[in-house]
Chains A and B, each alone.
Chain A
């Protein structure tokens, strides 16, 4: 346990938490969007993120790998994001079409169990298709490690700031995606349809909204965000394995609950809070307790404030 206050360590843990939080926030957005529309806890969402990480990896290796990439850095990373987001978006649509749509009017427990089944299915399929070994983006070697060694490395008033380029990319692109999503939901016709469907699916259908299309679009967007998170994790933490989705999915679920499940700004806030809580628990207490802290947060919120920080209590007509 660290007792003496060290401002440099504080900044280090804060940036570590923000990086982790950005990833959790993107996954949590997917949880929250799907919950908002279908009232479904899509436990397969973490595994969609895992698939995104693999897609990014295969784009990278397909274009020469980290040691000899055939594209300059920026287009390479953009392409990795694009293909992973597109691939995961389509995967989300397929999951919705074949696993959840047939159960749309079933009791809520049925799609929940299906979601767990899809999660196991994706995990095992990834192992069968890609093998059990852990793959690495090897950002360390990619374009001579420019993403790791460039960035902000300076000392101000005796406080050391170390924020590598890859972390800046992750945090900034997560924030950009979140802003884009907020604009989409609040300023476009699709967003309006999403909000209407989320508010009352049947009434929305009666108003002429194609609810099926809205749900498909929601799955596509939510899964694309998970795909982006997968590439981010690959770039910043290097490792990709078929088991990476489950734990991250649980943390993102926690983030969604903390922020207020069904609430988009809440998911972002929850993601960053969970990431920062995890980094600070690890940095100031012990790495052994980081999960205790994170899942402790989940329990505390479920017991004391189940609507989360930004969620509003559901009013039910009786």
Chain B
């Protein structure tokens, strides 16, 4: 009888997994069918851009903010250009690579879609890129920072308006060595988010520290984790703990649990932690590719307009998607000058983007491989809950 009870529980666990998988597949399948059914001819009369973002799921707070910023630009554009209105078609990839690939297929088969915003995460970009490439679609991410995405394999198709981890990782390591007193035989901890983002950064930073004789302990957390005590317990010897996660509240919690346990290591968040409303433990550091958009005087009217439309809350991952929407729509508009448009033409025009000033406070122009020209990272220290530039 014992084996019957075991079998029943195994069956129950199996049913749970299979049901979840069927539910997900059914949703994807119906969306794909829908996409095929509503496919429109590419034209300058009804141009559209797609957006693949994690609107729901563990990164839903980031994805919905990204979508809101893109939508905000599209709304502004459509208000100002009543004869050249653009549709934003969204796909919720739930930060799941498999779903991102499904979304890519959906946009690929919808000929009204001339360019795509996203995907948001590097892992999703990797999964979706063969489909976008085959469909001749440009896809521009406002947050995927893994270095290998712009190694040339996606040249002319993939772009991003944020600097890659090849800039961030070394910037953070250099700052720790030069300004935080980390030296040979000291210990540091790198905590990644088990995603391409965090693991990519970790793989860049670890050898740089080790080359200087610094001892590195690596740990991983999941985006849904809410308790870091067991990792915090291991930080007694560490001089600096780098949090390479995409969720600022996780960094806040980690830093607070460090304080709770009386740990003295400096907490240093990567750009995923850059959110002064959510990560603000005094004495911590954080790196980011641009000044905080909510503090820029030049961007105040845009930010206030966003708040009026979508509520008084945003994340640092949002505004880059405003700029992506801006540069994609500009490219479509330019391509439509002669009344005709193709995805290839839009791609070429996106590659030639040259926005001298943006809401981000930096200019946006792409290198041949799709990175931003002249990108750099800023280091901020948290003083009285505010971010102060220190490097």
> Which of A244, A283, A307 sits near B2, CB closer than 8 Å?
A307
Q: B5 to chain A: which residues have CB within 8 Å?
A: 306-307, 313-314
> Which of A9, A124, A136, A162 sits near B262, CB closer than 8 Å?
A162
> Is the pair A133, B9 in contact by a Cβ cutoff of 8 Å?
no
A residues sitting closer than 8 Å to B (CB atoms) are: 2, 8-9, 12-13, 16-17, 19-20, 41, 43, 109, 112-113, 116, 120, 124, 127, 131-134, 136, 139-140, 145, 148-149, 153, 162, 164, 233, 236-239, 241, 243-244, 246-247, 257, 261, 278-280, 282-283, 286-288, 290-291, 298, 302-303, 305-307, 313-316
> Is the pair A306, B6 in contact by a Cβ cutoff of 8 Å?
yes
Q: A109-B15, A127-B60 are in contact. Are A302 and B6 (CB under 8 A)?
A: yes
Distance to closest chain A CB from B190 (angstroms):
11
A-B contact pairs, 15 of them (CB 8 A): A20-B227, A41-B9, A136-B249, A149-B260, A162-B262, A239-B249, A241-B58, A243-B57, A283-B231, A286-B219, A287-B220, A290-B230, A305-B2, A306-B9, A307-B2
Q: B233 to chain A: which residues have CB within 8 Å?
A: 9, 12-13, 16, 283
> Is the pair B1, A313 in contact by a Cβ cutoff of 8 Å?
yes
Task: Given contact pairs A12-B233, A133-B61, A314-B4, enumerate 6 new A-B contacts (beta carbons under 8 Å).
Answer: A20-B227, A149-B259, A283-B231, A306-B6, A313-B1, A316-B4
> Which of B221, B229, B259, B281 sits near A279, CB closer than 8 Å?
B229
Distance to closest chain A CB from B212 (angstroms):
23
Q: B262 to chain A: which residues have CB within 8 Å?
A: 153, 162
Q: B295 to chain A: which residues have CB within 8 Å?
A: none
> Is the pair A134, B230 in contact by a Cβ cutoff of 8 Å?
no
A279 to B234, CA, bound (A): 11
Q: B148 to chain A: which residues have CB within 8 Å?
A: none
A131 to B226, CA, bound (A): 18
Q: B15 to chain A: which residues have CB within 8 Å?
A: 109, 112-113
> Is the pair A287, B221 in contact by a Cβ cutoff of 8 Å?
yes
B residues sitting closer than 8 Å to A (CB atoms) are: 1-7, 9-10, 12-13, 15-16, 19-20, 23, 55-58, 60-61, 63-64, 191, 194, 219-222, 224, 226-227, 229-231, 233-234, 236, 247, 249-250, 252-253, 256, 259-262, 278, 281, 313
> Is the pair A287, B231 in contact by a Cβ cutoff of 8 Å?
yes
A127 to B10, CA, bound (A): 31
> Which of A112, A131, A298, A306 sits near B3, CB closer than 8 Å?
A306
> Which of B56, B220, B259 sits near A127, CB closer than 8 Å?
B56
Q: A12-B233, A283-B234 are in contact. Are A237 and B253 (CB under 8 A)?
A: yes
> Is the pair A134, B194 in contact by a Cβ cutoff of 8 Å?
no
> Which of A238, A279, A314 sits near B253, CB closer than 8 Å?
A238
Distance to closest chain B CB from A5 (angstroms):
14
Q: A149 to chain B: which residues have CB within 8 Å?
A: 259-260
Q: B12 to chain A: which residues have CB within 8 Å?
A: 41, 112
Distance to closest chain B CB from A77 (angstroms):
17
Q: Which residue of A lies closest to B9 (CB)?
A: A302
A302 to B64, CA, bound (A): 40
Q: Which residue of A lies closest to B233 (CB)?
A: A12
A306 to B7, CA, bound (A): 8
Q: A145 to chain B: which residues have CB within 8 Å?
A: 259
A43 to B12, CA, bound (A): 10
